[in-house]
Structure 1
Amino acid sequence: MDIQSLSAAHSYASARPATKPGPAPEGAALGGAFQDFASTLRQSEALSQSAMTGQADPHALVQALAQTELAVETAVTVRNKVVEAYQEILRMPV
């Protein structure tokens, strides 16, 4: 057997674990997105309530409402993509 082939096999064996995905917490990114969405809604609601009593700046209220609108539109778009993917899976022949 050739020394180069042994060296190549050894290099491949040592590099192989680096290509395997590491353990990732399940749903960490999705959970963080849900928490961000919920915190955006809570902040906007609190700012809206304080604006009703005259304690908040109208400009800050408009910014909070724009952020909330963007968050809701993003959530609806993601939901629609998930439903579309699910329907596509259901149409697949078995």
Structure 2
Amino acid sequence: VFPFWLVNLAPALLGMRFAPYLAATFLGIIPGTAVFAGIGAGLDQVFASGGTPDLGVIFSPAVLLPLLGLAALSLFGVWWRRRSAHV
């Protein structure tokens, strides 16, 4: 695991072209960002409607669906490594 600033600096130092850098950034960062934004929006909906912060909030669809997306996103890496190991 490397610091985020180093990961962003390395492509420039290694002469990576912009188009592959943009595509890799999109594939690597945007899905997680979308999931966390969805969780935040779901929590905002719950709190705006007068909900209290308890564990039941997690099971509201506005929060649960992005959490399931996060789980799927994390399992995708495991699946990809196993798939790549067999190829």
For Structure 1 versus Structure 2, the TM-score category normalised by the shorter chain is: 0.3 to 0.5
Higher relative contact order (Cα pairs below 8 Å, separated by 6+ residues)? 2
TM-score by length of 1: 0.45
TM-score by length of 2: 0.47
Larger radius of gyration: 1
